[in-house]
Amino acid sequence: MQGAFQKHLDMVKKIGAEGVEIRTSDDLDSIDGLIIPGGESTVIAKLLIKNDIMNPILERVKSGMGIFGTCAGMILLAKKAEESDQPLLNLMNITVKRNAYGRQQESFEASFKVKNFDEPFAGIFIRSPKITEFSKEVEILAEFEGVPILAKEGKLLACSFHPELTGDTRIHQLFLEMI
Ligand code: GLN
């Protein structure tokens, strides 16, 4: 609906899976996993509500669909966004702080270790959120400067950065394995 979805579709294709654009609740019927891209979480939330797709997503999660949220997508997955009353999917036991790494001009690339990856991953951070709290159901798979940036809870995966903007498919591969 909004944000960097095309790059995610390219990554999905690269790892040998089939990707489709999700715009209506009917589109959800055919998928095993949903990727919510980066963009503007307030805008994505408004569109989810306007297009009556918020509840169908929650229903599909109950019946086993996984979700991978990147950046704005991570905010939507969270149970709480600090200092914000925007609607959220309210699924993952994390609290996030929006724009916690600064403004657009302060966007940066950083390398960090990811659990079970042999080589570091280089992530691109664009007005990224931070995970400020998480509960014990949440597994932290990567940290940057002591802050969790990649987290997993059941079939939900969330990251602060944009893995779709690099050529590195390993995090998409991880999500594919989860679902
Ligand atoms: N700052 C955006 C938000 O709050 C997220 C930025 C991004 O997805 N790159 O929704």
Domains and CATH numbers, the chain: 5-12+34-178 (3.40.50.880)
pLDDT for 19: 96
Residues 131-148: pLDDT tens digits? 999 999 999 999 999 999
pLDDT for 3: 85
Mean per-residue pLDDT for 88-108?
93
Residue 1's pLDDT band (cuts 50, 70, 90): confident
pLDDT for 105: 79
Buried b (16+ CB within 10 A) or exposed e, 69-85: bbbbbbbbbbbbbeeee
Place of tokens 């690269």: 14
Distances (CA, A) of 163 to 13, 18, 24, 28, 35: 14, 18, 25, 23, 12
Q: What is the 3-state secondary structure (H, E, C) of 28-66?
A: HHHCCEEEECCCCHHHHHHHHHHCCCHHHHHHHHHCCCE
Known catalytic membership, residue 71: yes
Residue 66's pLDDT band (cuts 50, 70, 90): very high
First vs last C-alpha separation in the chain:
22
pLDDT for 26: 96
| Distance (Å) from CA 112 to ligand 1 centroid | 20
Phi and psi angles of residue 149, each rounded to the nearest 5 degrees, phi first: -130, -5
Quick check: 114 pLDDT over 90? yes
pTM above 0.85, yes or no: yes
Known catalytic membership, residue 162: yes
Q: Does the Cβ of 169 fall within 6 Å of ligand 1?
A: no
DSSP 5: H
Are the C-beta atoms of 162 and 124 separated by less than 8 Å? Answer: yes
Residue 92's pLDDT band (cuts 50, 70, 90): very high
| Distance (Å) from CA 145 to ligand 1 centroid | 20
Q: How many CB atoms lie within 10 A of CB 168?
A: 17
Three-class SS state of 8? helix
